[in-house]
Structures are given as structure tokens and as C-alpha cells.
Amino acid sequence: MSSPEIASISWGQMKVKGCSTTYKDCKVWPGGSRTWDWRETGTNHSPGVQPADLEEVVKKGVKTLVIGRGMSEALQVPSSTVEYLKKNGIDAVVLQTEKAVAEYNALAAQGVKVGGVFHSTC
């Protein structure tokens, strides 16, 4: 199963190829995607992305996980979150969201088992 291409990204809106939903923030993995609802884990811009935000994608067997920090990189990614990924044998890529989407799509096109969590505003 391949990772779905992110068809478009703009402020507050993301589209995943093959999915009719328009996301604000989203999670993607080989074979699927869904809304990334920060309320599920109590996530805020600071301290930022927590391991609990990534568990669902990690469980899908990804080899690389791309984190999009927002258009202005307001979303923090603590070193403990990157360590969590490394401990699970997953490469972490943390970038500004538009760059993160480009990297994710490039990896997906190469057939890498890649997942991602992307914040589409600040």
C-alpha cells in the first residue's frame, strides 16, 4: 500500500489525492489519511507535537515520518518527540509545512513507507 499524495496545500486547507475531505491539519500514512484534531491529545503550538500525536501513524509501519510545523513554523517539535521516533526506528523530518509536503510527496513517489502530520496555518 502506498502513501497518498498530498494534492494541494494552502493556508488552512489541505487536500489528499483520492479523498474528498478538505483538511485544516491532517495525518497521512500508507493507505489513508484523516483530520489531525489537536484536542484529542491536548496539543498546542507550545510545547508542540507530542508522541501521542504520532502513535497512530507510527503503528501503520512507516519508515519515515514528516512533520509540518505550519506556514510560519509556529508549531514546536520537542526533542523528546524526535527521540520517540528514533527509538521506534523511524526517520524524522521536521520542516515548514510547504517544504514538508514537498518532501513527503517526493518520498511517497519513491515508494518509501512515509507518513506525516501537517499543520496548515501559522
pLDDT (tens digit per residue) in 76-97 = 999 999 999 999 999 999 999 9
Predicted TM-score of the model (pTM) = 0.97
Q: What is the pLDDT of residues 19-40, one digit of tens each?
A: 999 999 999 999 999 999 999 9
Q: What is the CA radius of gyration of the chain?
A: 13
* Structural domains in the chain, sorted by start: 6-118 (3.40.1230.10)
Distance CA 20, CA 88 (A): 32
Neighbours of 35 (CB within 10 A): 14
